[in-house]
Chain A
Amino acid sequence: MSEYGHCKDYLARFSAYIDGELQPELCALLEAHLQECENCRVVLNTLQKTIDLYHVYGSEDTLPEQIRSRLFARLKLDDPAGDAKDD
């Protein structure tokens, strides 16, 4: 297992680890390494934080009102939620 002896070897695995998709034996190796390696803990934590920040940033997905009404007008649709518009 010496191929997983160095920090850089683990770097590409952090992503799968965060997603819970790392194979169990690699997961155990990585976790043992993390216990000993402060630098890798920092990289993993900041990677996780990066993902979390973008997740919050993406949760805003309501359509601005004007864009919504122009869209429904262009499609010649009645807006089910919007103010009653003529076709």
Chain B
Amino acid sequence: MNTDRFEALRLELRRGCLSLAVLAQLRVEHYGYTLRKALSDQGLDIDENTLYPLLRRLEKQGLLTSEWREENKRKKRFYRLSTEGEGTFGQLLDEWQKINQALDRIIEE
């Protein structure tokens, strides 16, 4: 039961961070699989069934742009941060840092 509760809280905690991590990583262009690998290489494992739909949602919100392009003789959909996304990413990053600093202070008390 404790494990379930922890899992639910962990997922809640991760949910917000994932969008931020994806936006940060997409300052450089990626397609779905390489993005997942890049995030995983930096210690953030993200399930493909979470990541791929998330990319489409962020694109729908105008934060990402995508383009089908050929690479290694196959068409792939490349995503990158849009101009609007860059602004939002900056704001989210500020917010994240504020929360982080506040949390540090609370935890150290």
**Same assembly:** no
What is the interface of chain B, defined by CB distance below 8 A to chain A? none
